[in-house]
């Protein structure tokens, strides 16, 4: 086993500080595509497992006993898998044992409390409170990136930079969303990407207001905004970047104003990222910043603090400011223990509530959108009757939206913007 994995596991074991309890973490199994297709869905291991095992083979289990240490159990590679898929056989060692030995390992530890992490094993009688606290401590341990993770992340970013460069050159009126996606993803692969780290979003015109839009046949128009949210993945690590472009290459009218409002708020938010900064506060500060711009643009009316307290901003900024990213597009995001997800319209979508710390990689991704599903809703129109210039909004429902997203590594002095090489 590699030195860094030994070191990583030792760091996790220290954070767990267990004496008698044992930990199991299963990575999940292959799922067949129904209908006799002789296909399986692409296997994506649980990120808790992948962090502790550092590979993406299906059907495996990492087990930890504070008295005897770590062991991994793997199903033997079948002859058919070697024939059809070319999977190499495993080299068994003390640290990697056949899954057939797992029952005996567990029987030897009968009556010890079990934390059941990863893709939970259904037949294991686990201790729910122990599982929750072991999971929480693993999340905390995962957040600061180690050198190997950071190197993979930088490689993923480099491929992502190449993809955005190509896409930005390619965009012009007349091309389709799909063609933009193809150019972008081709370049990811050419620069070492294993795959896109999540479904690529290319939203043009009104589609730019659909937060997770799937690119299709739509043809880019002269005055369109083109929103691309994508990242290359390498060895499990993915970038998560958004840029919004003007189809014609030049800012036009209100779309340009909207772009500048988001860009200025994004730059301000990025500058504030440093150890100790509470992300929830940053989210609200950015909401106030963008609300002030919307007041200037005669979209919102009233006092900015009051507008944000009433969540009026969330009609145009209905998602959180960001999340942790790295090992998967959400990495070890979440809330610190004791912090509950708010039910407030303007806060409920926040994916992290924690102070930033050295080694974390966080996205900063404010956006402003004209989303008909929110802005034509009668209840919301009534609730925000006095806060929004509705006649002006009604004339802008086809404009789409703008999002700008970077990935920041938090450093002792502040941050390093890993995705700064992608122009905005
Ligand atoms: N790509 C989804 C997100 O930005 O969170
Ligand atoms: Mn994104
Ligand atoms: Mn994101």
Q: What is the pLDDT of residue 129?
A: 97
Q: Would the CB of 331 count as within 6 Å of ligand 1?
A: no
Task: Give me ligand 3 centre to Cα 153, in Å.
Answer: 15
- Domains of the chain, earliest start first: 3-142 (3.40.350.10), 147-417 (3.90.230.10)
Task: Give me ligand 3 centre to Cα 17, in Å.
Answer: 33
DSSP 252: -
Check if the beta carbon of residue 161 is closer than 8 Å to that of residue 422: yes
Tally of CB atoms within 10 A around 222: 11
> What are the pLDDT digits (tens) for 22-66?
999 999 999 999 998 899 999 999 999 999 999 999 999 999 999
Q: Which residues contact 289 (CB under 8 A, 6 or more apart)?
A: 264, 265, 268, 269
Nearest atom in ligand 1 to the alpha carbon of residue 229 is: 1
**Nearest to residue 117, comparing CAs of 181, 49, 41?**
49
Degrees to nearest 5, angle at CA 124 with 123 and 127:
140
**Nearest to residue 143, comparing CAs of 344, 307, 333?**
333
Q: Would the CB of 365 count as within 6 Å of ligand 1?
A: yes
Check if the beta carbon of residue 402 is closer than 8 Å to that of residue 241: no
Q: Which residues contact 48 (CB under 8 A, 6 or more apart)?
A: 25, 117, 118, 135, 138
Tally of CB atoms within 10 A around 423: 10
Task: Give me ligand 2 centre to Cα 123, in Å.
Answer: 37
> What are the pLDDT digits (tens) for 178-224?
999 999 999 999 999 999 999 999 999 999 999 999 999 999 999 99
Which of 1-11 are b and which e, b meaning 16 or more Cβ less than 10 Å from the residue's Cβ? eeeebeebbee
Q: Which residues contact 139 (CB under 8 A, 6 or more apart)?
A: 332, 334
Q: Would the CB of 187 count as within 6 Å of ligand 1?
A: no
Positions in the chain short of pLDDT 50: none
String of DSSP letters for 70-108:
EEEEEPPPPHHHHHHH-PPPP---SSEEEGGGHHHHHHT
Q: What is the pLDDT of residue 334?
A: 97
Look at the block and give the residue holding tokens 């640290």.
95
**Nearest to residue 262, comparing CAs of 368, 400, 393, 346?**
368
**pTM to 2 decimals?**
0.97
């Amino acid at each position: 086993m590699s030195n860094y994995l030994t070191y990583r596991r030792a760091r996790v074991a220290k954070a767990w500080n267990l004496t008698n309890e044992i930990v199991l973490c299963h990575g999940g199994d292959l799922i067949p595509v129904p209908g006799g297709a002789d296909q399986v869905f692409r296997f994506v291991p649980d990120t808790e497992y992948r962090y502790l095992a550092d590979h993406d083979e299906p059907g495996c289990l990492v087990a930890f006993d504070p008295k005897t240490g770590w062991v991994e159990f793997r199903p033997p590679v079948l002859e058919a898998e070697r024939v059809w898929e070319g999977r190499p056989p495993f080299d068994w060692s003390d640290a990697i044992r056949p899954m057939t030995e797992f029952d005996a390992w567990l029987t030897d530890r009968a009556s010890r409390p079990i934390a059941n992490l990863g893709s939970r094993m259904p037949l294991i009688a686990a201790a729910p409170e122990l599982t929750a606290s072991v999971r929480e401590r693993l999340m905390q341990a995962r957040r600061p990136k180690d050198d190997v993770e950071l190197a993979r992340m930088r490689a993923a970013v480099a491929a992502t930079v190449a993809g955005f460069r190509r896409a930005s050159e390619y965009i012009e009126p007349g091309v389709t969303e799909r063609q933009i996606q193809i150019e972008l993803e081709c370049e990811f692969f050419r620069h070492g990407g294993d795959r896109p780290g999540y479904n690529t979003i290319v939203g043009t015109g009104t589609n730019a207001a659909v937060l997770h839009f799937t690119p299709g046949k739509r043809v880019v128009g002269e005055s369109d905004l083109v929103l691309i949210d994508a990242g290359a993945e390498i060895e499990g690590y993915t970038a998560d970047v958004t840029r919004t472009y003007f189809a014609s290459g030049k800012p036009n009218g209100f779309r340009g104003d909207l772009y500048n409002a988001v860009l200025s708020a994004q730059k301000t938010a990025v500058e504030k990222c440093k150890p100790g900064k509470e992300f929830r506060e940053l989210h609200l500060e950015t909401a106030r910043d963008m609300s002030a711009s919307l007041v200037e643009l005669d979209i919102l009316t009233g006092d900015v603090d009051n507008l944000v307290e009433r969540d009026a901003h969330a009609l145009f900024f209905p998602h959180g400011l960001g999340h942790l990213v790295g090992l998967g597009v959400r990495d070890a995001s979440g809330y610190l223990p004791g912090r509950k997800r708010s039910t407030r319209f303007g806060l409920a979508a926040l994916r992290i509530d924690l102070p930033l710390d050295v080694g974390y990689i966080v996205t900063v991704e404010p956006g402003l959108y004209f989303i008909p599903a929110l802005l034509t809703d009668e209840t919301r129109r009534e609730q925000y009757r006095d806060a929004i210039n509705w006649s002006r909004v009604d004339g802008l429902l086809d404009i789409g939206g703008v999002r700008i997203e970077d990935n920041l590594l938090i450093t002792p002095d502040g941050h390093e913007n890993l995705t700064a090489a992608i122009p905005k």
